[in-house]
Chain A
Amino acid sequence: MAFGFKQQLGRGQYLLFSGTSFVLVLVVWSILSYGRFIDPFFLPTPSTIVGTTIELFSQHNLVGDIWASVYRVMVAFLLSAAIAIPLGVLMSAFGPIAALSEPPIDFVRYLPVPALVPLTILWVGIGEESKILLLFIGTFFQLVLLVMDDANNVRKEYYEVAYTLGANTKDVITRVLVPAIMPNVYDDLRVTLGWCWTYLLIGEIVAASTGIGHLIQEAQRFAKPEVVMSGVLIIGVIGIISDYGFKVGGKLLFGYRRS
């Protein structure tokens, strides 16, 4: 039925299959933990995790931690998008700008972000700035090249037609290039937001007093695997929610792509 090559799934079928994968994980987890196949210290039961999560919410200001993390991600992400999108566009539009900025961007892009932690602390201290700077470095340099690549892939006939209709270069950029790449840039943002969350943990594990990363780090120190798992699950849930939001937003913004 649904197993033909490249066959589209109906909504019901999609929910069935994705629900199955969720249930499957839960079943395997339950068997391993309730059945004592794995020591509960290493793998707490689902009910322990639920209990721990509720406790974290009610007694440990988990909402504050979540907010601290979301805030850092949002600031760093918006900041890098606000600079990377225009810069990527300009790099694609004007050769000298690309030639000037590509070498340093490529260089930084290959640096492992954790290696920069000591430097960011040295430069901007251990406050919010160092975490945001770290996330910014992790996302900006990737995003700018993705945007440039999208801009390079716009069909040149679009520009030519705009010029023959009377547009100047400024208008060709703002009325053709930018709207043409928007759907792809939106997808780039969706992907890089995921990366941003992975760097968040690195930022918060080092010298933070709030945030989910901090929570996980503390739990590790006091050997509370159920809190670690709880924190990891919360990040996963936030990821699913934000990704779903991106998906829905994309359909609303770029509905014109559907035939």
Chain B
Amino acid sequence: MTDKGTLRVEALSKIFDSGSADKGIVAVQDLSFNVQSGEFIVLLGPSGCGKTTLLRICAGLEEPTAGRVLLDRQTVSGPSRNRGMVFQQYTSFPWLTVIENVKFGLKYRPEVNQRHWNEIARHFISLVGLDGFEDSYVSQLSGGMQQRLAIARTLAADPEILLMDEPFGSLDTQNREFLQLQLLDAQQAENKTIVFVTHDVEEAIFLADRLLILTARPARLKTEIKIYLPKPRTLELKTGPEFLKIKREVLTYTREEAAKTDQLWRRQKKNEATPLRDERKFSLRRHKPKS
């Protein structure tokens, strides 16, 4: 095993311009963590906490305001095929068939001869269980199948690391569990490092080797939990005592953060209501010279 696919996030911060000059929205604040080769890391945090932003910075789709991200000791700048990304939204290209979608990234692997494209694509299609759908178009696939296609397409591009942004967020529970199992199998087979973002506690525990719990906005590291559940993982684990014990622990952290998110939201709403007073002042001043 090589040490390829190690990720290092160093003192990362991201502030978005909010339009008003003095204050920006702090999405990520001074966040640092390491990911080892072949590790499955899950970032767990409440909705809107900045975990998607964090992942997008790792992918090179956003610039950090401060800090940096290193992949295999190289500072990341801009998107590249060594960091594959699976989005929450369906992103399979509807004008291509399943196999054409999977082959999309093979063009950018100079080491792969074009003669082997079909063979490689078929390998990844069957890895995610889409055999028999090679020539189907995306409009003929269910949501779960589209996400499996997205995973196959990303794996076929042979990235060092997979960044996954709530890829199963819009699926029903049954589909979701099935895809979780399949993802673990695929990771085992391809030996890839994965950074997976979710707000679903069960999903997080079930998938993770290591769980990073993030705070409500701005995203900071609240705590880190190593998950020692045996591998390969089975769905029965989810109802076992070990799993429930971890879940109870995780929930105490996430509930704290959920409460904070709620407060944050209320404060924001209140702030939105205040500018009225300034407006009145402004209009009075404007009318003065006329009278």
Contacts and interface: CB of A to CB of B under 8 A. Distances in A.
Interface of A: 155, 157-158, 160-167, 171, 175-176, 179-180, 182, 254-259
Contacts of A257: 94, 139
Given A165-B108, A256-B138, A180 B93 contact: yes
A258 B93 contact: no
B237 interface: no
Interface residues of B, number: 33
Contacts of B157: 164-166
B95 interface: yes
Nearest to B78: A163
Interface stretch (B80-88, B247-255, B283-291): B80-88
B59 interface: yes
Contact of B93 (A158, A160, A163): A158
Nearest to A155: B89
A259 B139 contact: yes
Contact of A165 (B96, B97, B104, B140): B104
Contact of B79 (A160, A180, A258): A160
Contacts, number: 75
Given A161-B85, A161-B87, A165-B84, A179 B93 contact: yes
B263 interface: no
Nearest to B163: A164
A179 B108 contact: no
A227 to B, nearest CB: 47
A165 B81 contact: yes
B222 to A, nearest CB: 28
Contacts of A157: 87, 89, 91
15 contacts: A157-B91, A160-B61, A160-B85, A163-B80, A164-B59, A164-B60, A164-B157, A164-B163, A165-B81, A165-B104, A165-B153, A166-B105, A166-B109, A175-B104, A179-B93
Contacts of B93: 158, 176, 179-180
B13 interface: no
B137 interface: yes
Interface in B64-83: 78-81, 83
